[in-house]
Amino acid sequence: MGEPAALRTTRSGDAGARTSPSGLPRERGTIGSSIAVRDAVKRYGSFHAVDRISIDIEPGEFITLLGPSGSGKTTLLNLVAGFQSLDNGEILVDGKPVHNVPTHKRGFGMVFQSYALFPNMTVSQNVAFPLRMAGVDRAATDRRVAETLEIMRLTEHATKSPSQMSGGQQQRVAIARAIVRRPRVVLMDEPLSALDRRLRESIQIEIRDLHRTIGSTILFVTHDQGEALTMSDRIAVLNAGKIVQIGRPLDIYRHPTDRFVASFIGESNLIEAEILQKRGSTLTMKNRAGYVFNAESRDTIDVGRATVLVRPERIAVSNEPTANSTPVSVTSAIFLGEILRIEAHMEGGEPLLIRCTDMADRPLPSVGDRLHVSWGAADCWVLA
């Protein structure tokens, strides 16, 4: 889980003396830019791809735009990159408007899903490209390219052509190209989705470490919620051209603001329940099956019905009835290694998803088995 506060002290501290996780001394002076998007609108005909989005990104922050396809996350990234022009609103980098600045003068780095390495150039020529464009002299270019290839562990591939490399290597070249100029902003458009799972995880870690090393602001687009949770300082969840929630990964996971966020991020049980009474911030609720439970709520709702989010791993399971438990019947049980994933029905027929650690003392439940489940007030979250 991200701990932005700790990260930020690392960045603002005496950077030169420290050693980054990738084992290389940190480059001094690269501090990310702040990015502010104000009221951004992008229309295609009558379709609002980006619908009045505003977002403030702090210097050096790793922020992820997360959403299903068509949610507008890539369009927003393209607007920041300058590939598309705003229909309304503005984009500020370090307080200065950039939305009328052509892409090539914005000075960003970018990593593409398809790598987008120039096929007519070698690895080192690809990496040198941004420096060449910036008019950096030859000696400095060579030195910076060598450094960056070293960071990305690509030194022995320098003279290869991109087509001779594996997908993971190509993506590391693309990352090297994006960071070689030590840009204050790096944009990443689903950079890992073309890679297989194992490689994806190792490059996730690499990108995180890199972020600490170079200190650039990273704007990362993905549709993979796991990726967003592990990598980001903050996540902005998009749906239908709007930001539905923005916050730290833990907050978003634990305290989603609506059903969309709750079901898009992580697995979830959304239980309809009636509010029986309210005492302080604790609500006493009853669901269709007649199960009465307590739930914490930040909101001021106190009567009527509400949707309660219960994460599958927060449900306690036992074979025998316990205090304040309710029976469920198992419809499927899958052994996933360290975890059991159980699908069950509550008495009212409502489905319930349970994830629990492997129970060594008893066999895998089979279909039709009765189990007893319960959850406490701290395990649920009442959605508005």
The binding site for other proteins (CB under 8 A) comprises: 38-39, 52, 54, 81-83, 85, 88-90, 97, 100, 102-110, 112, 114, 116-120, 129-130, 133-134, 174, 177-178, 181, 187
Distance, CA of 93 to CA of 132 (rounded, Å): 23
DSSP state of 283: E
* Least distance between other proteins and beta carbon 39 (Å): 5
Residues facing 302 on adjacent strands: none
Q: Residue 177 class from Cβ within 10 Å (0-12 exposed, 13-18 middle, 19+ buried)? A: buried
What tokens appear for 347 in the block? 């008495």
Report the candidate in 167, 82, 180, 83 with the shortest Cα–Cα distance to residue 129. Answer: 180
Measured from the CB atom, the residue of 89 and 327 that comes closer to other proteins is 89
Measured from the CB atom, the residue of 4 and 168 that comes closer to other proteins is 168
* Least distance between other proteins and beta carbon 112 (Å): 5
Measured from the CB atom, the residue of 30 and 268 that comes closer to other proteins is 30
Determine the Cα angle at 245 with ends 113 and 229, to 5°. Answer: 50
* Least distance between other proteins and beta carbon 134 (Å): 5
Measured from the CB atom, the residue of 178 and 285 that comes closer to other proteins is 178
Measured from the CB atom, the residue of 119 and 337 that comes closer to other proteins is 119
* Least distance between other proteins and beta carbon 133 (Å): 3
List Cβ neighbours of 157 (8 Å cut-off, separation of 6 or more).
Answer: 123, 149, 165, 169, 173
Amino acid type, 373? V
Report the candidate in 59, 85, 70, 357 with the shortest Cα–Cα distance to residue 215. Answer: 59
Distances 355 to 47, 292, 313, 328 between C-alpha atoms, Å: 40, 21, 5, 14
* Least distance between other proteins and beta carbon 375 (Å): 40
Distances 37 to 92, 96, 202, 258, 352 between C-alpha atoms, Å: 6, 11, 31, 23, 40
Measured from the CB atom, the residue of 118 and 335 that comes closer to other proteins is 118
* Least distance between other proteins and beta carbon 194 (Å): 12
Measured from the CB atom, the residue of 107 and 247 that comes closer to other proteins is 107
* Least distance between other proteins and beta carbon 90 (Å): 5
